[in-house]
Structure 1
Amino acid sequence: MVNRLTNKVAIITGGISGIGKAVAQDFLSEGAKVVITGRRESLGNTVAKELGGPDEIQYMKQDVSREADWQRVVDQTIKQFGGFDILVNNAGVGGAGKMIAQTSLEEWQQVMDIDLTGNFLGVREALNKMDKGSIVNISSILGIITPMPGAGSYSAAKGGTRLLTKTAAVEAVKMGKSIRVNSVHPGLVSTDIVDSQTKAYLENSDVPIPKIGSPVNIAKAVTYLASDESEYTTGSEIVIDGGSLAGRG
């Protein structure tokens, strides 16, 4: 399909690599104007030029844990493209990979600041600046199931994102706004966060589709939620995990 996002303007956090970049590519192919954000300025500018012209895509530097950065990015997006219809909260970090007993407060807080507080700030800004549209929060299957050892902070943040999504979906209606809010829960996807230990775990498990997913597998679901095709979908979670949850017996 093409043109499902024509005349729509999207902000994609963490849009300079991995899932975020794949979402940006798919959105552009469907006719959207796109703003990608991230902290690595040189990479961000390079990716924006790679994906399209300045009338189609812009890079804006952003630390999602900073309130002022959110206000600046949203205001600049509206000024540049004349509106704001779609938010994809994708930026995230994987954490230190330590057991809870060995995790420092600083390590815990870094994951919370980016993976959960960053999503809260984005959702709040979107609810206040949009009258209609779609918010898509990228969570994880580790925000749904009992997490693997060493993923305590990550799982807590992703589980928080799951419930933040459902609350925001209800509150958008209470505000009288036609804003849909949904979450996407990837399994193992080929990104910088997935390490060799995680890949080895998958290879020795009973997952129905025993392979690492591709960012484009996630992007297609995000495009559906961003488009008007999902007009009856809010407060929902879409799991894309190769059957990992189904294979847990």
Structure 2
Amino acid sequence: MLALTGACTTLAAATTPASIQVYGPGGPAPAMKAAALAFERKTGTRVAVTAGPAPRWMGAARVNADIIFSGSENMMTEFSHSFAGQLDPSTIEPLYIRPSTILVRPGNPKNIAGIRSLAAGNHRIMVVAGAGQVGMWEDVAARSGDRELLAGFRSNIAAYASNSGLALERWKSDPSIDAWLIWNHWQAANPEIADQVFVEPDLVIWRPMDVALTQQGRSRSEAVSFVRFLKSDEARGIFEAQGWKR
């Protein structure tokens, strides 16, 4: 399983020339990179996946992007505005989805059992309040319609991160954070620093990874073929191994 190195604030660009240029956020990047390698082995066509916070790669993507991927629908909507005239909106498609989950310290020393446990106990919670998680924590905490659950959860939030990469750095550097509400694949990519506690079924939410072709990518058979590969059984196995579902 791929591990994220240096968090997702560090871009991951290929060091060799690539036939296909793919850009997106850090969360889906491990699975996307694994799929890119599988596609390259299968076809001989190189794929460069550049991942991290959008401001770091947006300039380059405006020059040569063939494919853009996102970590949520609202993120892809933002990309469609940022790349207006370049991104082909008719090609936007959600491919895989993943659930919200709770990351806890290895061994779960605080015996955290779920969202209700976090809201009721004296815990320090970290949430991501930007990028692909805009509104995620409140959607989870308020899904039951219980105002007191939402209020209890909010009162225990000790850290708001603007993106998941920064949240990962805070998790590593601040052991006072007891729990981190995030997507499940972050634990799959970093099993040595966190265990996973599932969000209760009635509170869990799911958000997708979308892909879209740029106008340039739509005109290139290699890019179209890579998007088609991402929908294949082989790619599905890669994504599902890292916590994503169709």
TM class by smaller structure: 0.3 to 0.5
The structure number with the bigger radius of gyration is 2
| TM-score normalised by length of structure 2 | 0.33
Structure number with greater CO (CA < 8 Å, separation at least 6) is 2
> As a proportion of its length, which structure holds more helix?
1
